[in-house]
Amino acid sequence: MIELFLGGCRSGKSKLAEQAAADTGLSVIYLATATGDDQQMRERIQQHQNSRPSAWQLLEEPFKLAQAIEKHAAPENCLLVDCLTLWLTNCLFKKDLEYYQTQKQQLLLALENSRGKVILVSNETNMGVIPLGQLSRDFCDQTGLLHQQVAALSEKVTLAVAGLPLLLK
């Protein structure tokens, strides 16, 4: 089963996804996509790490998310991916669009074929005005398309607003 949690920055989406993972009673493998490129990001990563149960296994995978899902998805595991937008950012801005498109197709196939519970977290970026710059528009376009494709594969989709879950699917 695939479950997607969407929300804005500090919306509570990660906390809701973590609770959903804990509620499965399965062994949780946390697939982190963030990279600590600056001090603020390192602090945010540390806050996330401190809030998670110590029994959860942590795997850091900023690029090859599909391969990590293929390797670790199993009926006895719950994979928690946090987050898709950071993964997309890594692929687009540290590699390129062609690399991202290849990785995205592999991710969608891995999700479609996964043998266990997969919970994904992502930032909803497209609920405001259209960004002025091409780079920002391209990012928002790719994010929106990714969310549509992952949501289509998901059995459950939740939007987090102010820490509250709104069930979309």
- Which of the following is catalytic: 4, 30, 48, 79? 48
**Which residues have a Cβ under 8 Å from the Cβ of 44 and sit 6 or more positions away?**
34
Q: What is the mean pLDDT of residues 6-18?
A: 95
Whether 147 sits among the annotated catalytic residues: the reply is: no
For the segment 107-126, the average pLDDT, to the nearest whole number, is 96
User: Which residue type, as a one-letter code, is found at position 113?
Assistant: N
CB 33 within 8 A of CB 69: no
The tally of domains found in the chain comes to 1
Interval 37-73: pLDDT, tens: 777 767 877 777 777 788 899 999 999 999 999 999 9
Here the tokens at position 121 are 């977290």
* Residue 59, beta-bridge partner list: 31
pLDDT of residue 54: 83
Q: Answer yes or no: are the C-beta atoms of 154 and 169 closer than 8 Å.
A: yes
SS3 117: strand
Range of the domain at 162: 2-167
Query: What is the pTM assigned to this prediction?
Result: 0.92
Q: Residues 103-116, buried b or exposed e (16+ Cβ, 10 A)?
A: bbebbbebbeebeb
Q: What is the pLDDT of residue 83?
A: 94
The per-residue pLDDT for 34 is 82
Domain with 143 in it: what CATH number? 3.40.50.300
User: What is the pLDDT, as a whole number, of residue 51?
Assistant: 77
Burial of 69 (0-12, 13-18, 19+ CB in 10 A): buried
Kindly report the backbone phi and psi dihedral angles of residue 112, in degrees, each rounded to the nearest multiple of 5, phi listed first.
Answer: -60, -35
